[in-house]
Structure 1
Amino acid sequence: MKLPIFCPSCESSLNVSQMKCNHCDTTVNGNYDLPLYLKLGRDEQDFILAFFLSSGSIKEMAKQAELSYPTMRNKMDDLIEKIKQLKTL
């Protein structure tokens, strides 16, 4: 199941309010921001993971995805811009 990151009613960002240990049933309550990585969509998270697993090689990622290097570079630039915007929120 995918973690919801936006309110289904007003589309505002959601925060974490409760976490529970499945081992001992301890519950922690509060109002915590989601980590930036979890504020990204599943495709964007997968892109970052693929970048990491390719040792940071955009050329290798492009080869594996059967895309041109400029196309993959544009995807990377778009993701970088989105992360910059999320960091300022």
Structure 2
Amino acid sequence: MKRQMLGRCPICTTHLDITRLHCPSCHTTIEGKFEPCKFCRLPLDQQEFVEVFIKCRGNIKEVEKELGISYPTVRGRLEAVIENLGYRPEPIPKTDPEVARKRKEILDALNNGEITAEEAVALLKKG
């Protein structure tokens, strides 16, 4: 069983510093201060969510099925990952019902594989 590198202190949850690297083949050891990737610093449950999200190619309906959770839960977990990676999720602007309906149609078409992500972006930018 492979052990996974910790990104956070198991006691206080502060980010851990990596200070030593070792090669098991030639026994070279390097000491210093190294930064883990952003994903390594995510809590384990968020790492697992990201893995499922990528495996499902970002298809939220597939993520719902795979994890047995609702659409709002998937969105909430995705927002939490985005924040933990250091990004601020953009608030969803309130729009009139007609614009919201058109956006939903575009996103449904993308989700159903009827259009590509690039086509969806272009349609959403048009308004």
TM-score (norm 1): 0.78
What are structure 2's unaligned runs of at least 5 residues?
88-127
How many angstroms does 1:45 deviate by? 0.5
Moved over 6 A (4+): none
Per-residue CA deviations over 1:13-65 (Å, capped at 9, x if unaligned) read 22111111101111111111222111111111101111111111121001122
Residue of 1, 10, 16 corresponding to 2:18: 16
The 2-side partners of 1:49 and 1:3 are apart by 16
Q: Choose 1 or 2 for highest CA Rg.
A: 2
CA 1:8 to 1:53, structure 2 compared with 1: closer, same or farther past 3 Å? closer
Count of equivalent residues: 85
Task: Tell me which residue corresponds to 1:25.
Answer: 27
- TM-score normalised by L of structure 2: 0.57
CA positional deviation for 1:9: 7.1
Could you tell me which runs of 5 or more consecutive residues in structure 1 were left unpaired when the two chains were aligned. Answer: none
Distance 1:8 1:68 in 2: 29
Letter in 1 for 2:52: A
Distance 1:11 1:71, change over 3 A: closer
1:83 aligns with 2:85: yes
Q: Provide closer, same or farther for how the CA distance between residues 51 and 9 of structure 1 changes in structure 2, counting only shifts above 3 A.
A: closer
Aligned residue runs from structure 1 range 1-89, under 5 A: 1-7=3-9, 12-84=14-86
Q: Which amino acid aligns with 2:18?
A: V
The answer (yes or no) to whether the contact 2:42–2:81 under 8 Å persists in 1 is no
6-15 vs 62-71, which deviates more? 6-15
Aligned CA distance change for structure 1 residues 12 and 63 (closer, same or farther; 3 Å): closer
